[in-house]
């Protein structure tokens, strides 16, 4: 890696991130069915119809996984607490699920790691999906009850609590593009989910504040929308894409408004009285989490229905996901967010990483592509700090190879290889490279 820990301000955190359904093994400990179980059971949705029933069996192996995190010299662990594990039917607490997160929290702290919790990383109980999931306003209130229950159990020991991971994926990718559970392609469902997920953030913030929780915020994903060319049409299309993917959420949360160009499409489908929710949605937060992976080259598609934009593949090197590698985009977002939305509020890079078709050879995994990817993105964050962004930490996605949603177990994002037959963990070369870079001198 081309950086050292000492290149960053004292206290800058290096960590790794995971999410419950992607690693734990949802068949253990009395967890209830999630909308991902039913989505995966529907032919054609997920590669080989794989689900998170076993995943990495982190449920039984979390000690080993946390040891690896600690041995790398990381300072924090970002994880999520599954709603369906804590409340299998969406409303009744499961003591075993609560005990699991209690144990996990203690194990994180025992290793000197800071626990960074995410309340919702897509583990929606099927019982609530049956009632319309995020298209139904009532899900927001049920989410508030979950926030109370899990916070009463472990909130006292969290260093940081994020309400929702990647609301764009929860709402647009899942209800408009149909790529994630619940797999809808419906503009009315989308408009409702786009609003209710923001309201769920607001509801969670209210509940967390009532309990005196500190360091609370949200994790948004930011996709760089680059105009394909210098025509006005491409500029307008990229602006609209940016408004849907990025501004809808950050603007609602920091300013209490929605971008007018997106409302032009959604207005007829928005839930009644949405305007009255904007105050709760935009209450103060303590940090903003930034997930960043790639850019998209955008132009207009006049023959397509709203939003009438088209994504044109570019010529930058690609990851195993076919995502272009564009570290400058991370710099751009960190500085833009500081300038236009959050000022001096702490920013964390809560996810950044790449999938690669890694293989274990002679007991080791050689992944120089990932080492370069991480190094280039961390250097982009360093430049953003030099230019005034208040970036406080960087979390690699992901600690482990895991369940990559509709791609099943095929795409390997981990710094630690997982053999999904034996569940053996093998740290990759990038893990050792990061360990060396962040070692205290
Ligand atoms: O695996 C996902 C994660 O759950 C959310 N952010 C993006 C990652 C890679 O696709």
pLDDT in tens, 157-202: 999 999 999 999 999 999 999 999 999 999 999 999 999 999 999 9
Of 50, 251, 324, 351, the catalytic one is 351
Would you give the distance in Å from CA 101 to the centre of its chain?
19
Pairing type for strands 425-427 and 416-418 reads antiparallel
Q: For ligand 1, what atom is nearest to the CA of residue 165?
A: 5
Q: For ligand 1, what atom is nearest to the CA of residue 413?
A: 9
Two structure tokens written together for 348? 């964390």
Of 50, 123, 166, 203, the catalytic one is 166
Q: Of all residues in the chain, what percent carry a pLDDT higher than 90? A: 100
Q: Of all residues in the chain, what percent carry a pLDDT higher than 70? A: 100
- Mean per-residue pLDDT, 399-418: 98
pLDDT in tens, 344-400: 999 999 999 999 999 999 999 999 999 999 999 999 999 999 999 999 999 999 999
Distance 179 CA to ligand 1 centre (A): 13
Distance (Å, rounded) from C-alpha 112 to C-alpha 440? 15
Residues 52 and 21: beta-carbon distance below 8 Å = yes
Q: For ligand 1, what atom is nearest to the CA of residue 405?
A: 1
Give 441's pLDDT tier (boundaries 50, 70, 90). confident
Distance (Å, rounded) from C-alpha 228 to C-alpha 300? 9
Q: Is 271 exposed, middle or buried (0-12, 13-18, 19+ CB in 10 A)?
A: middle
Residues 72 and 87: beta-carbon distance below 8 Å = no
Is 90 exceeded by the pLDDT of residue 10?
Answer: yes
Distance (Å, rounded) from C-alpha 402 to C-alpha 414? 7
- Mean per-residue pLDDT, 127-133: 98
Q: What is the mean pLDDT of the chain?
A: 98
203 included as an active-site residue: no
pLDDT at 310: 96
Q: Tell me 246's DSSP state.
A: I
Distance 166 CA to ligand 1 centre (A): 9
Distance (Å, rounded) from C-alpha 441 to C-alpha 433? 15
- Mean per-residue pLDDT, 58-62: 98
Q: Nearest C-alpha to atom 10 of ligand 1 is from which residue?
A: 404
Which residues have CB under 6 Å of ligand 1?
Answer: 19, 22, 166, 291, 351, 397, 404, 413
Pairing type for strands 425-427 and 216-227 reads unpaired
Angle (nearest 5°) at CA 361 between 355 and 364: 75
Distance (Å, rounded) from C-alpha 60 to C-alpha 68? 15
């Amino acid at each position: 890696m081309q950086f050292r820990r000492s290149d960053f301000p004292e206290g800058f955190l290096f960590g790794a991130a995971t999410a419950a359904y992607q690693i734990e093994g949802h068949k253990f400990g009395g967890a209830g069915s999630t909308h991902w179980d039913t989505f995966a059971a529907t032919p054609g949705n997920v590669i080989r119809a794989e689900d998170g029933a076993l995943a990495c069996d982190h449920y039984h192996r979390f000690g080993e996984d946390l040891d690896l995190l600690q041995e790398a010299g990381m300072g924090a662990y970002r994880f999520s607490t599954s709603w369906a594990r804590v409340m299998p039917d969406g409303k009744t607490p499961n003591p075993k699920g609560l005990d699991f997160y209690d144990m996990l929290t203690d194990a994180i702290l025992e290793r000197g790691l800071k626990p960074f919790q995410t309340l919702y990383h897509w583990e929606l109980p099927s019982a609530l999906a049956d009632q319309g999931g995020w298209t139904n306003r009532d899900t927001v209130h049920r989410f508030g009850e979950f926030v109370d229950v899990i916070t009463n159990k472990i909130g006292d020991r969290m260093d940081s609590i994020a309400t929702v991971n990647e609301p764009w994926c929860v709402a647009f990718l899942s209800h408009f593009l149909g790529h994630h559970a619940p797999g809808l392609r419906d503009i009315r469902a989308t408009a409702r989910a786009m609003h209710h997920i923001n309201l769920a953030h607001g509801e969670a913030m209210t509940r967390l504040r009532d309990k005196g929780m500190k360091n609370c915020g949200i994790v948004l994903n930011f996709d760089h929308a680059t105009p394909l060319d210098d025509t006005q049409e491409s500029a307008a299309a990229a602006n609209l894409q940016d408004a849907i993917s990025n501004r809808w959420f950050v603007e609602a949360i920091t300013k209490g408004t929605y971008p007018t160009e997106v409302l032009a499409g959604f207005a007829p489908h928005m839930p009644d009285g949405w305007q009255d929710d904007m105050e709760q949605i935009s209450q103060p937060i303590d940090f903003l989490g930034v997930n960043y992976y790639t850019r998209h080259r955008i132009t207009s598609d006049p023959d397509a229905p709203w939003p009438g934009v088209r994504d044109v593949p570019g010529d930058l090197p690609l990851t195993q996901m076919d995502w272009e590698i564009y570290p400058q985009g991370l710099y751009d977002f960190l500085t833009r967010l500081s300038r236009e939305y959050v000022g001096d509020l702490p920013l964390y890079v809560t996810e950044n990483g790449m999938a690669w078709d890694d293989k274990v050879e002679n007991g080791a995994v050689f992944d120089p592509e990932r080492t370069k990817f991480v190094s280039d993105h961390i250097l982009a964050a360093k430049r953003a700090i030099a230019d005034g962004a208040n970036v406080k930490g960087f979390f690699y996605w992901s600690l482990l190879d895991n369940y990559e949603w509709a791609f099943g177990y095929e795409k390997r994002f981990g710094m630690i290889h997982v053999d999904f037959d034996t569940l053996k963990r093998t740290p990759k070369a990038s893990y050792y490279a990061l360990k060396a870079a962040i070692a205290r001198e």
